[in-house]
């Protein structure tokens, strides 16, 4: 499977705990994006990387959120001190230099904060 992969697919945690999600983009895609989707809504942009550089962050990305892409390949999204409002589907997407605007999405990580 050469698509975007995300791990884990599901995560249940208690309020106040830290969680980390991983995204592996399509091979050789230089751009990687994170989105959040809450129930009944469309995905909302969080942040994106071009290679290892984080180029844009949404106002949705509070100080408790941090994302990295250390070697320009996979990326991690960490949420510290989780809150119930963080419960959502976290989606990762990637795109190539040739077709920047065409983003390919992974299956998502569904987070439930109790």
Partner 1 sequence: AQSVTQLDSHVSVSEGTPVLLRCNYSSSYSPSLFWYVQHPNKGLQLLLKYTSAATLVKGINGFEAEFKKSETSFHLTKPSAHMSDAAEYFCVVSGNYGGSQGNLIFGKGTKLSVKP
Interface with partner 1 (CB under 8 A), residue from 12, 44, 51, 78 = 44
CB of 36 to partner 1, least distance (A): 11
d(CA 4, CA 65): 21
- CA distances from residue 25 to 20, 53, 72 in whole angstroms, order as listed: 16, 15, 10
Interface with partner 1 (CB under 8 A), residue from 69, 75, 108, 111 = 108
Name the nearest CA neighbour of 104 among 38, 8, 31.
31
Interface with partner 1 (CB under 8 A), residue from 106, 109, 111, 113 = 106
Site map (CB under 8 A) of partner 1, residues 57-96, x = contact: -x--------------------------------x-x-x-
What's 87's DSSP letter?
-
Interface with partner 1 (CB under 8 A), residue from 45, 68, 73, 96 = 45
Assign residue 100 a region (left: φ > 0; alpha: ψ between -120 and 50; beta: otherwise).
Answer: alpha
CB of 85 to partner 1, least distance (A): 19
């Amino acid at each position: 499977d050469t698509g975007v992969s995300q791990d884990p697919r599901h995560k249940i945690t208690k309020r106040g705990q830290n969680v980390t999600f991983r995204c592996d983009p399509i091979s050789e895609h230089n751009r990687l994006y994170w989105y959040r989707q809450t129930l009944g809504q469309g995905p909302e942009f969080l942040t994106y990387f071009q290679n290892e550089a984080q180029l844009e962050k949404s106002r949705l990305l509070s100080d408790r959120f941090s994302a990295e892409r250390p070697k320009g390949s996979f990326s991690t999204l960490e949420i510290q001190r989780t809150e119930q409002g963080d419960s959502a589907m976290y989606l990762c997407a990637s795109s190539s230099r040739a077709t920047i605007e065409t983003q390919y999405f992974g299956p998502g990580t569904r987070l439930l904060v109790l």
